[in-house]
Structure 1
Amino acid sequence: MMTTCREAALSAPHRKLLSLAIGHALIGGLLCAPLHTLAQETTAATPDGSTTLEARQLDTVTVAGTYSKALEKATDLKRYDVRFSDSIVATDVADFPEQNLAEAMQRMPGVTIERNKGLGTRVNVRGLPSEFTMVSINNLATASGSGGRDVQFDIFASEVLQSVTVQKSPTAADEEGGIAGSVQIATARPFDFDQRKLAFSAEAAHNSISEEVDPKLSFIASDTWGDWGALVSYSRAQRTNRTDANSGINFRPMGRFLEASGTRGTQAAAVLARDAGIVVKDRRDSNETSRIVFQDKVGDRVYLNDQEQWGATASLQYKPSNTFGLSLDAMLGGFDTTEDEYDAAAYTASSRSTLDTIHAYDDTTLSQYGMVVLRDVSYTATQHEMLSKERINETDYRQLSANLDWAPGDWKVNALVGYSGARRDSDFANLKHVAYGPSRSRWTARGGETLPSAGFDMYNSPGAYRFEAYETEVEQVKDDKYAAQLDLTRQMNLAFLPALSSVQFGARYTDKSKTREYGMGKIQGPGAGSTAWVNTRTLADSPLRNVTDITGGKAYQVKELQWAQVSNDDARRIFRYPGYVTPLDDGQFYQVDEQVLSLYAMANFDFDIGRVPVHINAGARGVDTTVDSSGFHQVQNSDGSTGYTATPISKQGSYRDVLPSLNMNAELAHNLLLRAAASETLMRPALTDIAYKRTVSWNDFRFSDGNPDLKPTTAKQWEVGLEQYLDNGGLLAASYFWKQIQGVVRQELTGVVPNVEKLNANGSLDGYYDFDVYQPVNADGAYKVTGLELVAQLPLSMLHPALEGLGINANYTMLDNSLTGASDLDIPTPPEGLAEKAYNFTLYYERDRFDARVSYNYKDKYVEYIERNMYPVYRDAYGQTDLSMGYRLNDHMKLSLEVINLTDEATTGYTIDPAFPTMYELSGRRVSLGFRADF
């Protein structure tokens, strides 16, 4: 659907054009317009990074109509931006198979994605975590319903977007550069097209596991009437995907048993000494007991994810002349998901259990960390669980903006006002039945398994499972942002300083607010307060069906296994008694308000060093930020009674910074460009980390608090690169970048709450424990990240005429970093989300009416999370092959066939070492047939 482009450095004949437009991501119409047309256009400076005044009228959707021609135009346009950046532009609906915007971006140099059950969700730039990336739509920082600052790209339909630019070296005029980079998204406007535009596409996609066929429809209509133009676009998609998984197999520290009172702790110590020769010196020394680990839980799971995604844009433009333009833009959308999870699990670390027999252990694989892993163990009282979980998320987003472009004389004026908002409503339910009994659990090559013990088959004994609870949770997140910006550019012609071509300055104000409400409830009987069903009702008392009959599709794919559970539809009908509503907890409310005032100025210089033309953009941005955080703090009762009281609390914080930037390019020889950039930039902490709140993890004996005193993470960075343009439209490029990052946000132990009362799920007392308090803090010290990025775009006809129509588009990114994650056991850990290696390779063929592309995307392993702040859990390296073929019936209609995950790759993960897998997931192959009409 998208075609990769890159913004360009300037060649000598077009110095004047760059002096007008420098500092802005030349996306939208500018990116894929023909070079000779751009050279004739007069452009207006626009700080939004989305357009220039006249260039947006060029037709970017149908640039030559083919992937190869779009790549060829992209190499020409590479000379028009002094910065390091890459772009994708809407050219043909069948260019690449993808399910959302994240997957459309994954083929750009330095861009990788995070996948969740077969769907691309978040975007990583240059291997760095997603929270290091700034995202904006039409120059408005995008609201997110996630509660953080990272944007979930799966909510955006790529069909309603015109272009996406990943900017890797900022200028002072940019709102924020992002430590990894800045993703700037633009929607289409009517004067992007030089004539009336009407396009329609339809697609039907089949998933190999769910065996469902999902529809997707989209259209765009645009026209202009003299000085006026209007555009509307719309996209709607349905996705039904099933994922089968053997997962949830995490490390659990032996302190879970050793610190228990009574015989549980003494028996665990005795079994360790008898079967593994391990003598525990201090059963309450967590540094010792946390280095002896066993399986927390072994689970076989089936997920069914139903998604409805829609998006719409509208644009109204008034353009009476080439020196004046007014645009009104709107973007609306929704992303609703219902995920059913059916989980058969053995929770070996239950509150009743301890070690019985250690059949096998591993004291060598992790010996460098002083760790022993109990690989195969029998337990005295495993909690076998049948869990029917339902997650309903409804996300609505909207964006409205007005943009003024005016060019009186030597001045260029751009003004922007806008609003961006998102709301997410979440509803979670978990029907839980348990059966206690001895078991034997062990690791396997793909994950783990639980063996039958004492005549008990956990998968086929519904009468043994007792009802424990039907738990519900609700969450409501609102995110709103208002922005206003005024940008002025003045063309200069000074006799005493001829190199100074223009100056630019401006101001921007943003007001951002995020609120969150949360509540939970527990049903244990047929009415409010009733516990009549606890330990009396069994799983067999409810209607049961095999899980794959509930979800539909093929048999369980991970192993030869089948079991029966209660469907989530039946669970709602049976267990939610009339009038039940999950109560909101006032003590879980929080609100964060943030106001930012930015002032910036920069200058553009054009001069020659000998025969080498040089362009330099230099500037600085000052930011002044005020943050108000309010919520409730859970304080343990001081009168001696158990429990906590929610106490209102609020705090105001502020910080200021000056962020300089320098970008330059030079044409060293014919078609050989040198680029260089240096800057300071920042990423603000997630609002959920700033908020006053306390959450509890009863199984981990931990409180997690917010920290209103957090400061931004900052980075100093520079980059240098060479780009060689070939006469046949090809491109070879290489760049080296360096970043020094300070103030990385980490979770750290900041206190202990003694004697916390912990109850079992049935309300009985489990005991009194000391709970650790963790908070996000800005870590001390600075960390370095260096990397190499390579790009090769080559038509293979340069090798032999018989290869006409064949070509490759490939890129490779490699990182080396000293940045470490936070492991309380001092296990060397990269930061979460950082992959050291990634590459994309596309082979394409286009002749006459037929085209085909096969693309392979690879992302190296990365730390997904750090279990209990001790054990890094890795998402394994993953490579996926996608295929797209198209046949043009005539000048207006095209058929396409697309395949996502052609080789049906599994998603895998492990804890510290691949010898200890923690997940094995299969989400299947997706094959789609599409039709497009373009008039």
Structure 2
Amino acid sequence: MRTNRIKFLLSAGAFAMCAAAQPLWAQAADDGAESGDDAIIVSGIRKSLSDAADIKREASGVVDAISAEDIGKFPDANLAESLQRISGVSIDRSNNEGNQVTVRGFGPGFNLVTLNERQMPNSSSLQSAGISRSFNFRDLASEGVSAVEVYKTGRADIVSGGLGATINIRTPRPLDTPGFRAVASAKANWDTSTEVGSKVTPEVTGLLSTTFGDDRFGVLVIGSYSERNSRKERTGTQGWVRNRGNRANPNLDLSAIDTSANPTQAFWTPWTVDMDVWDSKRKRTNGQIVLQAEPVDGLTITADYTMSRYKERTQMHRMAFWFDRPDIATADANGTLVDVTTLNDNLDFWAWDFYQSTRNDSFGGNIKWDVTDNLSFELDAHDSTSHSNPNTKDGQTAETLSNLRNPIGSVASISGNFSGKIPAVSFDDSTLAGGAENFANVVSDLYQKRGYEVENNIRQIQAAGKWSSDDGALKAINFGVDYTDYKVDTLLSATFRFVNVPLGGLDFSFVPRGSTLDQFKGADQLFPQIPIYSATEFVGIVEDAGLFAIDPPALNGVREKTKSAFMSFDLETDFNAMPVKINAGIRYEKTNVSAYTVQNGIVALNFRHPQELQVIRDTTPARQELKGDYDVFLPNVDFRIDLTDDLVARASYSKTIARSSLSAMFPATNFLNSRPGGPFIVSQGNPGLLPYTSNNIDLSLEWYYKPSSYVSVGVFKKWVDNFIGAVTNRGPVLNANGEPLRDPSVNPRPGCPDSSATPNPACLSAPGDPIVTWDINTVGNLQSASVQGLEATVQHVFGDTGFGVMLNGTLVDGNIDLDPYNFSQILALTGLSNSYNLVGFYEKNGLQARVAYNWRDKFLLSLGAEPVNTAAYGQLDASISYDINENVTVFAEGLNLLNATTRRYGRFEEQLLDAEQYGARYAFGVRAKF
């Protein structure tokens, strides 16, 4: 692989990575002061805000930015946490840490993240996380970043893929700041939620930049290492199912349902109520090496290598209560069963072991040549790979789970009330000697091992040129071509088995887990007892019993080869003595897509368990490949007029695209549900999907009324075509011989079901069995939609007092909302939510303090068979630092100071899916620069 990378870079004629324009942290910032002894040198927070305002003011189109306050000092420890301070940008969190962003209501898959204007790969080990194109900000330490730019309007010279926005991360270069610079920082992170491992964990960072040979050669090295231990506590359900229950049951009370809104009296039952604790240990290592040379004036050669290593292990323990077949229940006006009792059921005791490992490596090179004062060329190439769970072939699986339970019918009753924010659950286990939590009353149920190994490789060559002139209205012509080879290969391992093994060798216990956090009312009752045991240990017992079996892994992949060309023009003129700037351009792209699946052929269904029809495959892998292609023209026009020296008006039109999700294009047939009696559900991909396309209009007015201070108001509208929606077809699924699969559970033969590891031939599909009719879920380009919104920002510095504020907010709306009573709806706009940010700061005499509050309104997260909504969320963060002298600074940070909790629900707020709490996090440290 390394040799191939080197050959690739040499073939591009590049030794080095992009020699970008002078990074923001290196720019002088005198805030307009005169030179001389009385000059005011702006630094820290105010410098960061001033630089960001300058970028916004001078840009073509609508651009927002965040810049470093100093070399190696970004405003937040997490890039996503910083980005949420920009109007229109919201973040998604994982374990209370920002990891991906939503821009103007468009989620992570609709936004493109680039590193120094290069598209970056992404991968994930967990099947539940899916396969995303969107870069995960948790993989990158903020200390190695000089600026983040958010391009909200499209431009011809920017790589396509960002329908909501293109987010460019800039990193420092040694020749941009000649001389010697060094920064080192160390801090202790204190996570108040931690109960397993140390509550205090280390984070260290070092940066070294130096130039030599009359500043014609430079080296920059950045390294960082961090650890974090944390706990998440959750209560929730495994979803709500519609009309599961016997309407004729006299104990099912549907009388309160509002039939004017719900004429069919549809009702929803929770599958389970779950109470979880998640204990995680994370390690992250980042590094970057940059080599630069300017052997002659006007010729700059740059080479770099950027890497990250991310590892996280999580143990999760769960107590679950089943409500899927209600015996006694009462519905509210919406149809949600808010008071449910099941009789003669069982409790479930779960354990999960999660393992995530991601390796990111990027090799790049760049040559920039100023041929004359008016003509310059740039050649850039990179080879970047993200590889998750690289040890899958050696048996390392990302997720191992097991389930224990009481024998079915052993618990007299389980009751739940769902009318509040969180459910209230009770159970009667008087029919069990010693109670449900007595290990003698616990039996084995099932195990599952699943996970992805994903390798995402991007090879990209970009060649660009610029002709500029100081004469006439035409100031510049920008032109270029680029080629991107985007390739993702996945190995999916997924095994699900019901087992019956003796549990005598399992280290099992119940531990009182009174919540250490207090945001959930009744928390002490919410987590009374949690089962503690190892899922991996349980699987070992299954293996020792000779009952362990694993399904053959499935290989899936997508390869996209995109050729692009662009040209744009910069014009400047006057209109009624007001300066006017226009950027007009067009980008053409041609993309060829090929998708493949390698799977063992399907033989039959095996009636293995009363709740399982196992899919039996042969031992012969077969490859299936499908192709597609499309081309697009992406025009843009940006108009800017300086109405006065301080007042700027803009109007922009652009066309942007976002490519479809990767997993949606895999040709594989995946069995999602195959239980006796149904449902029978499979999914299949569609590599012929077209990209989402959006025609965008932006209008804004900006008033830069004093240094570092401005007011901005903008409106936008997006008309989006080719939205991908779910399509369900009904029909048979064929086996390897081209024959439809049949159901052996309808008229079972003697000895069936049989849960032995080796299938019983009598329990397999036979010619006389009925043919199964499957729901075949696929996707297609179905509908169009529109989104409109308003953004406003106020940034104000109160003279030389040291105080300042930044306020911004976004209102966003779309034309396709979720109708909770439309059960055939296949499209609703996800991620749309209003948001606002309040930031106050003080910086003077070496003391720096900042308080930030971010709020995001409720929004639709996803739309499937049943929708998932996310409730409103607000988080308060703060930081303070003091410069002991010009070289040494001590600091403290606090995140989620109000202990905010997240909540997700189904069609209605009563239909709780997840309520999670994490606790506050603090950091204390010291930073030194030389």
- Shorter-chain TM-score: which interval? 0.7 to 0.9
CA separation of 1:828/1:683 partners in 2, compared to 1, >3 Å: closer, same or farther? same
Q: Is the 8 A contact 2:351 2:402 kept in 1?
A: yes
Q: CA deviation at 1:475?
A: 2.2
1:236 equivalent to 2:236? Answer no
Q: CA deviation at 1:697?
A: 2.4
2:439 aligned to which of 462, 468, 475: 462
CA separation of 1:704/1:439 partners in 2, compared to 1, >3 Å: closer, same or farther? same
CA separation of 1:693/1:504 partners in 2, compared to 1, >3 Å: closer, same or farther? same
- 1:619-643 superposed Cα distances (whole Å, 9 cap, x missing partner): 1111000011111478765999994
- Between 1:558-567 and 1:689-698, the stretch displaced more is 558-567
Q: CA deviation at 1:573?
A: 8.6
> For residues 839 and 830 of structure 1, what CA distance do their matches in structure 2 show?
27
Alignment partner, residue 688 of structure 2: 709
Alignment partner, residue 919 of structure 2: 924
Alignment partner, residue 518 of structure 1: 492
Q: CA deviation at 1:97?
A: 7.2
Q: Which runs of 5+ in 2 are unaligned?
A: 1-17, 35-39, 125-130, 390-396, 608-612, 734-741, 746-751
Q: CA deviation at 1:399?
A: 0.7
> For residues 497 and 442 of structure 2, what CA distance do their matches in structure 1 show?
17
1:595 equivalent to 2:545? Answer no
> Aligned ranges for residues 111-190 of structure 1 at < 5 Å?
111-146=89-124, 147-176=131-160, 178-190=162-174
Alignment partner, residue 476 of structure 1: 453
Q: Is the 8 A contact 2:251 2:328 kept in 1?
A: no
Alignment partner, residue 62 of structure 2: 84
CA separation of 1:67/1:518 partners in 2, compared to 1, >3 Å: closer, same or farther? same
Q: CA deviation at 1:711?
A: 0.8
Normalization by structure 2: what TM-score? 0.83
Alignment partner, residue 511 of structure 2: 546
> For residues 310 and 86 of structure 2, what CA distance do their matches in structure 1 show?
25
> For residues 306 and 449 of structure 1, what CA distance do their matches in structure 2 show?
31
2:661 aligned to which of 663, 677, 686: 686
Per the alignment, in what secondary structure is the counterpart of residue 280 of structure 2? strand
Q: What amino acid sits opposite 2:569 in the alignment?
A: A
> Aligned ranges for residues 50-449 of structure 1 at < 5 Å?
64-92=42-70, 98-146=76-124, 147-176=131-160, 178-210=162-194, 212-225=199-212, 226=214, 227-248=216-237, 250-255=239-244, 257=245, 268-271=246-249, 275-276=253-254, 291-349=266-324, 354-358=325-329, 360-362=330-332, 364=333, 366=334, 372-409=335-372, 410-425=374-389, 426-435=397-406, 436-437=408-409, 438-449=413-424
Per the alignment, in what secondary structure is the counterpart of residue 440 of structure 2? helix
Q: Is the 8 A contact 2:25 2:71 kept in 1?
A: no
1:880 equivalent to 2:878? Answer no
Q: CA deviation at 1:751?
A: 3.0
> For residues 734 and 25 of structure 1, what CA distance do their matches in structure 2 show?
34
> For residues 489 and 433 of structure 1, what CA distance do their matches in structure 2 show?
66
Q: CA deviation at 1:380?
A: 3.3
Alignment partner, residue 29 of structure 1: 23
CA separation of 1:295/1:274 partners in 2, compared to 1, >3 Å: closer, same or farther? closer
1:718 equivalent to 2:697? Answer yes
Per the alignment, in what secondary structure is the counterpart of residue 915 of structure 1? coil
> For residues 519 and 656 of structure 1, what CA distance do their matches in structure 2 show?
35
Q: Is the 8 A contact 2:400 2:536 kept in 1?
A: no
Per the alignment, in what secondary structure is the counterpart of residue 159 of structure 2? coil
> For residues 191 and 757 of structure 1, what CA distance do their matches in structure 2 show?
72
> For residues 835 and 573 of structure 1, what CA distance do their matches in structure 2 show?
42
CA separation of 1:115/1:778 partners in 2, compared to 1, >3 Å: closer, same or farther? same
> For residues 581 and 72 of structure 1, what CA distance do their matches in structure 2 show?
65
Q: What amino acid sits opposite 1:622 in the alignment?
A: Y
- 1:154-196 superposed Cα distances (whole Å, 9 cap, x missing partner): 1221122222111111211111151100011122211232331
Q: CA deviation at 1:834?
A: 1.4
> For residues 315 and 761 of structure 1, what CA distance do their matches in structure 2 show?
62
1:905 equivalent to 2:900? Answer yes
> For residues 872 and 541 of structure 1, what CA distance do their matches in structure 2 show?
38
CA RMSD of aligned residues (A): 3.6
Per the alignment, in what secondary structure is the counterpart of residue 79 of structure 1? helix
Q: Is the 8 A contact 2:469 2:475 kept in 1?
A: yes
CA separation of 1:657/1:69 partners in 2, compared to 1, >3 Å: closer, same or farther? closer
CA separation of 1:85/1:63 partners in 2, compared to 1, >3 Å: closer, same or farther? farther
CA separation of 1:467/1:616 partners in 2, compared to 1, >3 Å: closer, same or farther? same
> For residues 156 and 542 of structure 2, what CA distance do their matches in structure 1 show?
55
> For residues 89 and 849 of structure 2, what CA distance do their matches in structure 1 show?
23
Q: CA deviation at 1:595?
A: 0.3
Alignment partner, residue 805 of structure 1: 802
Per the alignment, in what secondary structure is the counterpart of residue 447 of structure 2? strand
- Between 1:758-767 and 1:832-841, the stretch displaced more is 758-767
2:646 aligned to which of 671, 678, 687: 671
> For residues 523 and 586 of structure 1, what CA distance do their matches in structure 2 show?
14
Q: CA deviation at 1:474?
A: 3.7
Q: CA deviation at 1:610?
A: 2.0
Q: What amino acid sits opposite 1:219 in the alignment?
A: G
CA separation of 1:660/1:547 partners in 2, compared to 1, >3 Å: closer, same or farther? farther
> For residues 634 and 873 of structure 1, what CA distance do their matches in structure 2 show?
34
Q: What amino acid sits opposite 1:130 in the alignment?
A: P
- 1:317-350 superposed Cα distances (whole Å, 9 cap, x missing partner): 012355111111211001111111101001322x
Q: CA deviation at 1:604?
A: 1.2
> For residues 141 and 175 of structure 2, what CA distance do their matches in structure 1 show?
22
1:631 aligned to which of 592, 597, 606: 597
1:737 equivalent to 2:716? Answer yes
> For residues 244 and 74 of structure 1, what CA distance do their matches in structure 2 show?
38
Q: What amino acid sits opposite 2:400 in the alignment?
A: A
Per the alignment, in what secondary structure is the counterpart of residue 669 of structure 1? coil
Q: What amino acid sits opposite 2:200 in the alignment?
A: V
> For residues 321 and 786 of structure 1, what CA distance do their matches in structure 2 show?
50
Q: Is the 8 A contact 2:109 2:133 kept in 1?
A: yes
Alignment partner, residue 616 of structure 1: 582
Q: What amino acid sits opposite 2:777 in the alignment?
A: Y
Q: Is the 8 A contact 1:249 1:448 kept in 2?
A: no
> For residues 438 and 424 of structure 2, what CA distance do their matches in structure 1 show?
17
1:559 equivalent to 2:505? Answer no
CA separation of 1:522/1:668 partners in 2, compared to 1, >3 Å: closer, same or farther? closer
Q: Is the 8 A contact 2:254 2:265 kept in 1?
A: no
CA separation of 1:275/1:69 partners in 2, compared to 1, >3 Å: closer, same or farther? closer
Q: What amino acid sits opposite 1:220 in the alignment?
A: L
Q: Is the 8 A contact 2:68 2:145 kept in 1?
A: yes
> For residues 678 and 613 of structure 1, what CA distance do their matches in structure 2 show?
20
